[in-house]
Every structure is written in C-alpha cells, then in structure tokens.
Amino acid sequence: MSESIKLKYSVVIEASQEEVFEFVANPLNDHLWRSEVNRIESSGEISAVGTEFLENAWIGIQKNFITITRLVEYKAPDRALFITVDRNPYFLKSDRIFSSLKDGKTLFTYKVDFDKKMVPKTFGINVRPSIVKKLYGILMKKYLRKLKSILDS
C-alpha cells in the first residue's frame, strides 16, 4: 500500500450510544449524512462481518466513483470498521467509534484513512496531502454537523 491520508473528527450527539450506533454503523444510511454519497448497496446483512458495501459517490470530478468495502469488525454499540476489498483499486478504511457519555449523550468518532493515489484520480490533479486533509476535514466536519442535526433528540 502507498502512503495514506488520515483524518479523525468527533462530535457529541444528544442521543444514546445504541441509537447513534444503529444509525451510523449502517452504511445504507450514509447518503443521509455524507453529502457525496449517491447510493450504497450491500451484499448481505449489514451487521455481518464479511458483508461488502458498494458505494457510488461524487468525489471531486468523479460523479460515480465506486468504492467497495467490507465490514471487518462489528462490535455493537462500540465500533464498526470497514476496509476496502483487495480488488478495489485504492485502499480506504472507515472506522466508526462510539462512546457513551453522561446524560445519555454519545461521542461519535469518525476516522478515515485512504490511499493518497486516490487524489489525482478523483480530482484530476495531484494535490498535496496537507491540502487534501484540510479540504476533506472541512467536509467531514460538515458531515458530522448534519449527522448531529439528524440524531439529536
């Protein structure tokens, strides 16, 4: 694997850990809070380790960028981990971590790690990782705000 770009952001959501996990650990809900997602399909049960998810997303100049991930860890209500399958051309890891806070709130941490070779493919030019991190970081914070607005009780 080549060098990767890693990002990690968190948000406090005013809902129980179980509620947040149920919604966020299911990639079929991603289009509701991740703006670039066109659609996601699953090969089986969403909580079964080994299930594959085909994501069609509008990333940069690519209107239908396909990424295939596999659920490799499903530990309700604490963690859901997805990693690209071997046949996917670019590595991507999506780690979704949930922690219960007092007063029934939940800390959701979203960690993404992806192959920097994906950048020229999706944007048409090779951009420095530091710029990609800054731009995608802005987008991830927007996702988390939207997710919070959906799930806050």
Range name among 21-25, 34-38, 95-99, 115-119 with the lowest pLDDT average: 115-119
- Alpha helix (H) residue ranges in 51-128: 118-123
| 8 A C-beta contact, residue 106 and residue 12 | yes
**What domains sit in the chain, N to C, each tagged with a CATH number?**
4-151 (3.30.530.20)
Buried b (16+ CB within 10 A) or exposed e, 88-116: bebbbbbbbbbbeeeeebbebebbbbbbb
| 8 A C-beta contact, residue 26 and residue 39 | no
* Residue 143, H or E segment: helix 129-151
| 8 A C-beta contact, residue 108 and residue 19 | no
Band the pLDDT of 2: cuts 50, 70, 90: low
CA distance 95 to 87: 20
pTM for the structure as a whole? 0.94
Band the pLDDT of 92: cuts 50, 70, 90: very high
Over residues 118-132, the pLDDT tens digits come to: 988 888 888 888 888
Q: How far is CA 36 from the centre of its chain?
A: 11
Hunting for tokens 């950048």 — which residue is that?
Answer: 119
